[in-house]
Amino acid sequence: MTSDDPDGALLSLAAAAERGDDCPYIYTLSGGWLIAGLPTSSKEFRAVTEHDLSRQLAHAKTRDFRGPQEQLQAMVQERLQPMMAAFGPDNEADSEVLNLVKASVTTPVGQVLQVPALRIQLSAVGARWAARPVGDAAPPRGGGKSVRVSADFDY
């Protein structure tokens, strides 16, 4: 096993998720990024991605659209199909990735992004765990509190 090879437990987890088995919410570290989510199959990853893209497209079109709902849905599907086709065939499962839904990504500077679905290369995972992390909250950095100091000097 080289340093680029994923560990066996991650491979097993990805295979179980692909089969549709129940899997624990997983936390991973990859290049300083904390990535967490619920492992799922490639098929479910694609369905969640398609649903979210459809929702985004419908929201963008709804602002200016005045017409029947069926026409709006047809317009959304017309735009959505080439987008989904860009991902390639929908029946491809990749044993070297972990598909996650209901995910969050925490950047190295602490920004948290909520992501409906994402894929992570297993070889990019530096650490992983399934138990919910517990720890002391870090003290706020800057701007949390202010102190006013006033001084009078007599000369």
Mind listing the pLDDT tens digit for each residue in 55-88?
Answer: 877 776 666 777 777 877 777 778 878 777 877 7
37 and 49 assigned to the same domain: no
36 and 103 assigned to the same domain: yes
75 and 103 assigned to the same domain: no
The domain total for the chain is 2
Please report how the helices 69-85 and 42-62 are oriented relative to each other, as an axis angle in degrees rounded to 10: 130
Give 122's strand partners.
none
25 and 100 assigned to the same domain: yes
Give 114's strand partners.
104
Question: Is 78 a member of any domain?
Answer: yes
Decide if pLDDT at 147 tops 50: no
Cβ-contact 114, 104 below 8 angstroms: yes
Structural domain boundaries enclosing 66: 43-92
58 and 125 assigned to the same domain: no
34 and 50 assigned to the same domain: no
Which residues have CB under 8 Å from 114's CB, separation 6+? 103, 104
Cβ-contact 100, 119 below 8 angstroms: yes
pLDDT digits (tens, 9 = 90+) for 87-98: 777 666 777 899
Q: Which helix or strand (DSSP H or E) is residue 45 part of?
A: helix 42-62
pLDDT digits (tens, 9 = 90+) for 93-114: 777 899 999 999 999 999 999 9
Question: Is 81 a member of any domain?
Answer: yes
88 and 98 assigned to the same domain: no
Question: Is 146 a member of any domain?
Answer: no
Cβ-contact 90, 111 below 8 angstroms: no
11 and 85 assigned to the same domain: no
Q: Spell out the alpha helix ranges (H) of 1-143.
A: 8-19, 42-62, 69-85
